């Protein structure tokens, strides 16, 4: 299959692994931002191809995982209302809230429907004028244009029974938060190719310059990841910190200008809380004043509110790359994909789920020594 097979080619992957081995002279720690990249790294055993001096750590790039618990609780409260038809992508349905999840609410009679596009939710609103139709708008810059289009269409159709529960997050402020943390070990970033397909990569130039850190916009197949790592290692070994684009088949410097124009029309940048990390300034979208009538939090009086995370879950440390999933005491015991304690075990892009499905045999040094 074009654009897949050549990026899973074993011979090419091994050639990049060999080039990384030849180039590396000392230890380097590299973070992949996106959960899709984490999934590829774990599924295809990319780390086993790399020299021991290269450490890959997994970043906060799974939107389901970073959606704060109180937002899940708000979704559950709205979806439980008799007058609401609640719509969402499938991966949000199993994310545990404080007391239940959307799938359980559905089993108990809630009108919750899985959709494949936010425009399906707009269609449902047109077909069901007596119901309040709400779409759970979760995601990075990647999914934001489709959600913006849904709100834009709803306004164009004059729909008064459509709204979105908006939990959009933005990648560059999260990278900056990680880099400015005193605990950060990250020396290079693989940035998310799909986010940059929409937004371009100009926002990353000041980050690379300020923190003197190489950033490579990278795709999602094994050869993409290995080439991205090679580009980072070359910069690190040569003492450079530039933004480079490995994912040229999709990303242009300026991104997708019509999509960015629509985003600027429908959304405005706001502070946003990230699960396990806390509030990151200017790291999310909310609806702009012109479209504020489509905000489900306002419509159902759901603003504010705090929820308590499970004390067993160390998702915050996992999402910041400070711990790996198998270092969580609950991993594979109290927390499994069937009974997840935290969002990274639910989502297919979550680091904990990726380790559970593809790398459950990995043991921590303490476990190997028989301490745990």
Residue 352 interacts with ligand SF4 (CB under 6 A)? yes
Residue 72 interacts with ligand SF4 (CB under 6 A)? no
Residue 341 interacts with ligand SF4 (CB under 6 A)? yes
How far lies 179's CA from each of 207, 229, 275, 320, in Å? 9, 18, 18, 10
- Exactly one of 197, 259, 331, 349 binds ligand SF4 (CB under 6 A); that residue is 331
Query: Which residues make Cβ contacts (< 8 Å) with residue 274, sequence separation at least 6?
Result: 60, 66, 68, 169, 174, 280, 283, 319
Nearer to ligand SF4, 58 or 74 (CB): 58
Nearer to ligand SF4, 85 or 319 (CB): 319
Nearer to ligand SF4, 72 or 287 (CB): 72
Nearer to ligand SF4, 277 or 341 (CB): 341
What span, in angstroms and rounded, lies between the C-alpha atoms of 354 and 332? 12
Residue 314 interacts with ligand SF4 (CB under 6 A)? yes
What span, in angstroms and rounded, lies between the C-alpha atoms of 58 and 56? 7
DSSP lists the bridge partners of residue 245 as 217
DSSP for 3-44 reads: TTGGGS-HHHHHHHHHHHHHH--S-EEEEEEEHHHHHHHHHT
Q: How far is the CB of 308 from ligand SF4 (least distance, A)?
A: 14
Number of residues that bind ligand SF4 (CB under 6 A): 15
Residue 368 interacts with ligand SF4 (CB under 6 A)? no
- Exactly one of 94, 313, 320, 324 binds ligand SF4 (CB under 6 A); that residue is 313
- End-to-end CA separation in angstroms for the chain: 45
CB 86, CB 134: distance < 8 Å: yes
Chain-centroid distance, C-alpha 317: 15
Quick note: the x/- pattern for ligand SF4 over 23-62, rule CB under 6 A, is ----------------------------------------
Residue 262 interacts with ligand SF4 (CB under 6 A)? no
Nearer to ligand SF4, 228 or 340 (CB): 340
Nearest to 301 by CA among 110, 147, 83, 78: 78
What span, in angstroms and rounded, lies between the C-alpha atoms of 187 and 168? 27
Nearest to 110 by CA among 132, 140, 78: 78
Sheet holding 84-88: strands in order across? 112-114, 84-88, 132-139, 162-168
Stretch that binds ligand SF4, among 6-14, 130-138, 201-209, 337-345 (CB under 6 A): 337-345
Residue 318 interacts with ligand SF4 (CB under 6 A)? yes
- Exactly one of 142, 335, 347, 349 binds ligand SF4 (CB under 6 A); that residue is 335
| Cα dihedral 155, 157, 160, 166 sign | negative
Nearer to ligand SF4, 287 or 335 (CB): 335
Nearer to ligand SF4, 13 or 315 (CB): 315
Residues that bind ligand SF4 (CB under 6 A): 312-315, 318, 325, 328, 330-331, 335, 341-342, 344-345, 352
């Amino acid at each position: 299959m074009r654009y897949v097979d050549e990026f899973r080619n074993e011979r090419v992957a091994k050639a990049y692994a060999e080039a990384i081995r030849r180039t590396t002279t000392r230890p380097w720690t590299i973070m992949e931002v996106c959960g899709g990249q984490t999934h590829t790294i774990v599924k295809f055993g990319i780390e086993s191809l790399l020299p021991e001096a290269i450490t890959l750590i997994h970043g906060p790039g799974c939107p389901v995982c970073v959606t704060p618990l109180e937002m899940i609780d708000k979704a559950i409260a709205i979806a439980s209302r008799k007058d609401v038809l609640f719509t969402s992508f499938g991966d949000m349905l199993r994310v545990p809230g404080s007391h239940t999840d959307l799938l359980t609410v559905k089993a108990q009679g809630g009108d919750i429907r899985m959709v494949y596009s936010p425009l399906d939710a707009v269609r449902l609103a047109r077909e069901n004028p007596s119901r309040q139709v709400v779409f759970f708008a979760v995601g990075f810059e990647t999914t934001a244009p489709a959600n913006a289009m849904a709100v834009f269409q709803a306004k164009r159709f004059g729909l008064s029974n459509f709204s979105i529960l908006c939990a959009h997050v933005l990648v560059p402020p999260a990278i900056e938060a990680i880099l400015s943390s005193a605990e950060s070990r990250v020396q290079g970033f693989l940035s998310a190719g799909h986010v940059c397909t929409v937004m371009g990569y100009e926002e990353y130039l000041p980050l690379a310059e300020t923190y003197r850190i190489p950033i490579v916009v990278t795709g999602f197949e094994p050869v993409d990841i290995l080439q991205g790592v090679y580009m980072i290692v070359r910069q690190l070994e040569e003492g450079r910190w530039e933004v480079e684009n490995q994912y040229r088949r999709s990303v242009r410097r300026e991104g997708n200008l019509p999509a960015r124009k629509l985003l600027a029309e429908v959304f405005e940048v706001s502070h946003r809380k990230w699960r396990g990390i806390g509030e990151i300034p200017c790291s999310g979208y909310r609806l702009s004043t012109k479209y504020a009538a489509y905000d489900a939090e306002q419509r159902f009086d759901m603003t504010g509110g705090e929820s308590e995370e499970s004390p067993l879950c160390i998702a915050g440390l996992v999402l910041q790359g400070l711990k790996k999933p198998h270092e969580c005491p609950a991993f594979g015991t109290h927390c499994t994909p069937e009974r997840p304690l935290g969002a990274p075990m639910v989502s297919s892009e979550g680091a904990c789920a990726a380790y559970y499905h593809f790398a459950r045999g990995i043991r921590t040094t303490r476990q190997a020594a028989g301490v745990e």
